[in-house]
Amino acid sequence: VTVEEALREAETLLGDGGVATPRVDAEWIVGHVVGLRRAELPVARARPLGGHEREQMRELVARRAGREPLGYVLGEWGFRRLALKVDGRALVPRPETEALVSRCLELLRGVTEPEVLDVGTGSGAIAISIADEHPGARVTALDSSADALALARENLAASSLNGRVKLVEADLADALPAGPFDLVVSNPPYVPAVEIEELAPEVRDWEPRAAILDAGQTEAVAHAALGVLRAGAPLVLETHWDAASRVAALLAELGYSGVTITRDLGGIERVVEGRRP
Ligand SMILES: C[S@@+](CC[C@H](N)C(=O)[O-])C[C@H]1O[C@@H](n2cnc3c(N)ncnc32)[C@H](O)[C@@H]1O
């Protein structure tokens, strides 16, 4: 089997499985197996796959055709400048969350050694990115899931940022670390229970329910952050696609000032921020 034949076989199986982008996913999987980037595949069309590669390719394609998220199948996922390990212990970090990190970095510009708190860190994507891209930032990253924190710990160990990110296992409903923080960021679970069944199988059946189901975490973070932010410091929240104005109203009601909504790259109102009075 050549790379070209493998791509065709994979594309067919993924299409039969109902994967929305079978060609692109086939390229990711075949590229991963033969150790080439997607852009390099056209010139490697005639390269034969070894027996082991073929077996691995079929195993990964079968998993993806079963609608396991591509990130879990590949075992790693790009987020800003990082290649993060991802698996069923935490949410696959999303492109819209990269916009959340951009906004945090803009707000931290000019603050030389900010103390940052990431609530619901999952894979560690936000916390590790902020430490990676702001040379003076010290980040505390909290999650109630021991599994997610174990994955974040592996991602942190693979970075050179060990000394600047602290991982804490705690439920945000109990208490947030004391601070004071120069910025609190969170991408909380925000899918309402009534929408869970309508989600793509990749999310509904594979990602941790505790990472996606809205159980009031947005409101809880907005309340609790008031007790740990420095006066004038921002809270930055990712929101559901149709919830930004509701979350903005909540922040204003709680007394946050300068409440602002920022759109993601898809033009959707996604990030809501406000400053502790
Ligand atoms: C949407 S995921 C975000 C993961 C990661 N920050 C990202 O953006 O990819 C939400 C995270 O919040 C955590 N979480 C949910 N409820 C929580 C709570 N009450 N206290 C602390 N963490 C919680 C989940 O375990 C999950 O890892």
Give me the percent of the chain exceeding a pLDDT of 70: 100
Give the confidence band of 73 by pLDDT, cuts at 50, 70, 90: very high
pLDDT value of residue 107: 97
pLDDT in tens, 198-223: 999 999 999 999 999 999 999 999 99
Q: Rounded to the nearest whole angstrom, what is the distance from the C-alpha of residue 133 to the centroid of ligand 1?
A: 22
pLDDT value of residue 268: 93
Q: What is the rounded average pLDDT of the residues 152-166?
A: 95
Strands 257-263 and 269-275: antiparallel
| 196, pLDDT greater than 90 | yes
Is 100 a pocket residue for ligand 1 (Cβ < 6 Å)?
no
pLDDT value of residue 218: 98
Q: What is the rounded average pLDDT of the residues 171-197?
A: 96
Rounded Cα–Cα distance for residues 47 and 57 (Å): 14
pLDDT value of residue 58: 96
Is 274 a pocket residue for ligand 1 (Cβ < 6 Å)?
no
| 103, pLDDT greater than 90 | yes
Q: In ligand 1, which atom is closest to the CA atom of 94?
A: 9
- Token pair of 141, please? 């990253």
Q: In ligand 1, which atom is closest to the CA atom of 148?
A: 27
Q: Rounded to the nearest whole angstrom, what is the distance from the C-alpha of residue 2 to the centroid of ligand 1?
A: 42
| 162, pLDDT greater than 90 | no
Instruction: List the residue whose alpha carbon is closest to atom 14 of ligand 1.
Output: 120
- The β-bridge partners of 235 are 184, 274
Is 169 a pocket residue for ligand 1 (Cβ < 6 Å)?
no
Is 144 a pocket residue for ligand 1 (Cβ < 6 Å)?
yes
| 265, pLDDT greater than 90 | no
Instruction: List the residue whose alpha carbon is closest to atom 11 of ligand 1.
Output: 120
Q: Rounded to the nearest whole angstrom, what is the distance from the C-alpha of residue 183 to the centroid of ligand 1?
A: 17
Strands 82-85 and 115-119: unpaired
pLDDT value of residue 74: 97
Is 211 a pocket residue for ligand 1 (Cβ < 6 Å)?
yes
- Token pair of 225, please? 């952050």
Rounded Cα–Cα distance for residues 270 and 126 (Å): 15
